[in-house]
DNA sequence: CAGCATCCGACTGGATACTG
DNA sequence: CAGTATCCAGTCGGATGCTG
């Protein structure tokens, strides 16, 4: 069983995937190779700094391939590596869970928060 | 396809699961109901503050149930809710990916880092 | 075009001490 | 026992400006 193995290992691995922008970059690259500026446009709210940082991380982890064309001005495009492709299915599973259960999470939060309210303002009951 | 749906939605949902300690707490509770102090002992390196914060979040999200016994001194135990149980399989899938591919990630990092070294110190070649 | 460098406020999380 | 409160260093990430 998975319980017997190092949970730290597991946790560190999750970090590969769970940073704020990683999922969104992955999301775009899953469909097609894209250039830096394409990614910048498509991923709403991301800054150059964060995009670069995220791509570097993914490249370092071997999940994304960076291809630089020797042109002026420079052009660079990014695509998933074969290792990156293996992550798509696990991410889909998580995505499916999201679709199926995220409403329940939101619902639970509402209940929890209003319960907290009643704790703090038990006046009008 | 999942691409057509809001990636933001997806990202926010990932946050449910991807905080530093969440996975480890889940990991322990997957097997059995545990008391606060049990969790504190079992999860190496976690502080009371972080454990409490993580448990509160999970409770708020409806993934963990908090049961408080009206005794002195107080006793509290935690278990997964039925919603929490639905998350186990997705997490297992991610875990399996870890086992299968994390070495590749580490290997890729080594290569990337030593390539960076050569960039910075191209002396001895 | 595809970044890198810098500044800086905000948030995170660890250590420690205290409490019903 | 199961937390809460406070302090504080470190990190994250946004804004802005510069460059090959």
Count of CB pairs separated by less than 8 Å, A with B:
134
User: Would you place residue A107 in the very low, low, confident or very high pLDDT band (cuts 50, 70, 90)?
Assistant: very high
Over residues B40-78, the pLDDT tens digits come to 999 999 999 999 999 999 999 999 999 999 999 999 999
Cβ of B61 within 8 Å of Cβ of A16? The answer is: no
What part of A 16-55 touches B (C-beta under 8 Å)?
16-18, 20, 23-24, 27, 30-31, 44
Give the residue extent of every domain in chain B: 1-86, 88-125
| pLDDT(B3) > 60 | no
Over residues A68-95, the pLDDT tens digits come to 999 999 999 999 999 999 999 998 898 8
B94 touches chain A (CB under 8 A): yes
DSSP string, chain B: -GGGS-HHHHHHHHHHH-STTHHHHHHHHTT--EEHHHHHHHSTT--HHHHHHHHHHHHHTTSEEEEEE--SS-EEEEEE-HHHHHTHHHHHHHHHHHHHHHHHHHHHHHHHHHHHHHHH-----
Range A110-114 average pLDDT: 94
Over residues B15-43, the pLDDT tens digits come to 888 788 998 999 899 999 999 999 999 99
Residue B88 CB neighbours (<10 A): 16
Element (H, E) at A43: none
Q: What topology does CATH give the domain B1-86? A: Arc Repressor Mutant, subunit A (1.10.10)
């Amino acid at each position: 069983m998975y319980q017997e193995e190092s949970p730290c290992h597991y946790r560190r691995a999750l970090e590969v995937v769970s940073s704020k922008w990683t999922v969104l970059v992955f999301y775009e690259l899953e469909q097609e190779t894209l250039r830096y500026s394409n990614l910048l446009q498509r991923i709403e709210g991301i800054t150059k700094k964060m995009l670069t940082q995220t791509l570097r991380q993914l490249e370092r982890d071997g999940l994304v391939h960076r291809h630089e064309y020797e042109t002026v001005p420079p052009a660079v495009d990014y695509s998933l590596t074969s290792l990156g492709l293996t992550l798509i299915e696990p991410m889909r599973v998580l995505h499916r869970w999201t679709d199926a259960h995220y409403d329940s999470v939101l619902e639970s939060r509402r209940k929890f928060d209003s319960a907290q309210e009643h704790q703090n303002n038990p006046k009008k009951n």
